[in-house]
């Protein structure tokens, strides 16, 4: 009996030892597989970041996009991380002409070492990861204020140069081959420096040169500039338009001018009229070309195109005296008309659809203290600061006139010209978010 007991105990011990070895091997394999999975997770995050970075740089060319992918991959997966041997990432860029977008794919593989699995004859595990980003082409018109308030003594002497530098850097970030970029600068009137058309692409050098050539002077007719920008975007047939259509408006003050057909003692004169020069008309489609002084008694109900009303869309900003059959030509009524017209044309751009094209997203960039104060006391109240108006034009979420059925833009503020680069970059980063 004792011999049988000793023999049974030995068999149990041998079985237990075999089971223990197998169990330890399985635990070791699980640890190795967990490490391989961790390598794959880190690898996936790295290629995703690389694909997004390459997408942001695709406007600079394919070599720049590839270099950006390599740089961001290395930042997110340092050499030797978790003991893995990683292959150099490969980057593929493809333009989809039907979708008008770039597809950027970054992929790689890694060999993760095995530690415990070696007892099972497995020395390593190979894992792979692929990241993809899609960057849609866009149609964009940049609208730059070029009024006298951007010059000394109202602004520091360096303001014009810093504005031009920030605008040129902003334009340089877009895809010269497939994006469409237009340029308008304005004061009493607006001038088209670069127009978009049905053909894709734009010339960065030409746009940069046009920005550099801008001169300053005159008052602020935002309505005419926005109307010309909308017209540029609408000139592209709907079937050829980009999915994303954008206006970026820069200004350092509230609107105080409108363009219309004004009745005077010598007949009807078409031009741009400002509250800072009552009766002084300037040519339309010209930044600051003086026509002459006229005895204008009343303002028309809208601009000369018949498409932009001078009345408030919600009755919030009425004329004095209330209920008058015609709008008296006064400083405050002109300011009201200018503000109403700017909001109305922006609303028309954001609400486009159907045969005209997709709704237009509007971004606004503001500069300086004048936007945070009432330039003229016309009984507006503090909700009529230039800051408020810029937010309304952009349809910023939370603003008092926010339209949830229209695209929402953002307003970027620069307290001084040194902050303009950051303000333009804020707009660019949000545009990039929409193109993905």
- Mean pLDDT, consecutive 10-residue segments, the chain of 436 residues? 52 56 60 84 93 83 90 91 90 84 92 78 87 91 96 94 98 93 96 92 96 94 96 93 95 94 94 92 88 95 95 82 91 94 96 90 96 78 85 95 96 98 96 84
Q: How many CB atoms lie within 10 A of CB 272?
A: 32
pLDDT of residue 198: 86
| Angstrom distance (rounded) from CA 364 to CA 349 | 14
pLDDT of residue 1: 46
User: What are the beta bridge partners of residue 260?
Assistant: 271
Are 206 and 133 a contacting pair, CB within 8 Å?
no
Long-range contacts, 424-431 (Cβ 8 Å, 24+): 424/166, 424/167, 424/169, 424/170, 424/365, 425/170, 427/170, 427/248, 427/363, 427/365, 428/170, 428/173, 430/363, 431/138, 431/140, 431/244, 431/246, 431/363
Are 258 and 341 a contacting pair, CB within 8 Å?
yes
pLDDT of residue 374: 75
Are 250 and 167 a contacting pair, CB within 8 Å?
yes
pLDDT of residue 96: 84
pLDDT of residue 204: 95
pLDDT of residue 10: 60
Are 247 and 140 a contacting pair, CB within 8 Å?
yes
Are 195 and 129 a contacting pair, CB within 8 Å?
no
């Amino acid at each position: 009996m004792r011999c049988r007991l000793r023999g049974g105990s030995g068999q149990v011990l041998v079985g237990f030892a075999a089971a223990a070895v197998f169990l330890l091997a399985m635990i070791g394999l699980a640890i190795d597989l967990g490490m391989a999975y961790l390598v794959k997770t880190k690898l996936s995050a790295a290629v995703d970041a690389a694909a997004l970075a390459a997408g942001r740089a695709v406007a600079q060319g394919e070599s720049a996009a590839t270099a950006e992918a390599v740089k961001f991959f290395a930042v997110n997966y340092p050499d030797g991380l978790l003991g893995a041997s990683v292959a150099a990432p490969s980057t593929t860029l493809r333009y989809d002409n039907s979708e008008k977008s770039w597809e950027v794919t970054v992929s790689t593989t890694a060999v993760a070492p095995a530690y415990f699995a070696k007892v099972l004859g497995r020395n390593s595990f190979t894992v792979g990861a692929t990241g993809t980003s899609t960057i849609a082409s866009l149609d964009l018109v940049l609208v730059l204020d070029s009024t006298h308030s951007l010059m000394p003594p109202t602004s520091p002497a360096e303001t014009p140069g810093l504005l031009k530098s920030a605008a040129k850097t902003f334009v340089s970030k877009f895809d010269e081959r497939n994006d469409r970029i237009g340029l308008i600068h304005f004061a009493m009137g607006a001038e088209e420096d670069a127009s978009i058309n049905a053909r894709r692409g734009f010339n960065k050098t030409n746009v940069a040169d046009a920005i550099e050539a801008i001169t300053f002077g005159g008052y602020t007719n935002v309505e005419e500039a926005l109307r010309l920008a909308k017209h540029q975007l609408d000139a592209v047939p709907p079937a050829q338009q980009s999915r994303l259509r954008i206006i970026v408006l820069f200004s350092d003050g509230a609107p105080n001018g409108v363009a219309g057909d004004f009745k005077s003692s010598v007949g009807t004169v078409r031009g741009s009229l400002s509250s800072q020069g009552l009766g002084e008309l300037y040519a339309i489609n010209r930044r600051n070309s003086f026509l002459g002084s006229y005895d204008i008694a009343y303002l028309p109900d809208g601009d000369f195109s018949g498409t932009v009303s001078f009345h408030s869309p919600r009755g919030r900003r009425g004329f004095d005296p209330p209920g008058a059959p015609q709008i008296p030509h006064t400083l405050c009524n002109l300011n009201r008309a200018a503000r109403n017209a700017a909001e109305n044309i922006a609303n028309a751009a954001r609400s486009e659809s159907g045969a005209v094209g997709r709704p237009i997203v509007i971004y606004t960039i503001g500069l300086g203290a004048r936007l945070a104060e009432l330039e003229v006391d016309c009984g507006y109240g503090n909700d009529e600061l230039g800051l408020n108006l810029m937010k309304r034009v952009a349809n910023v979420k939370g603003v008092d006139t926010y339209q949830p059925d229209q695209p929402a833009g953002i307003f970027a503020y620069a307290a001084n010209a040194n902050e303009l680069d950051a303000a333009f970059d804020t707009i660019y980063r949000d545009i990039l978010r929409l193109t993905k």
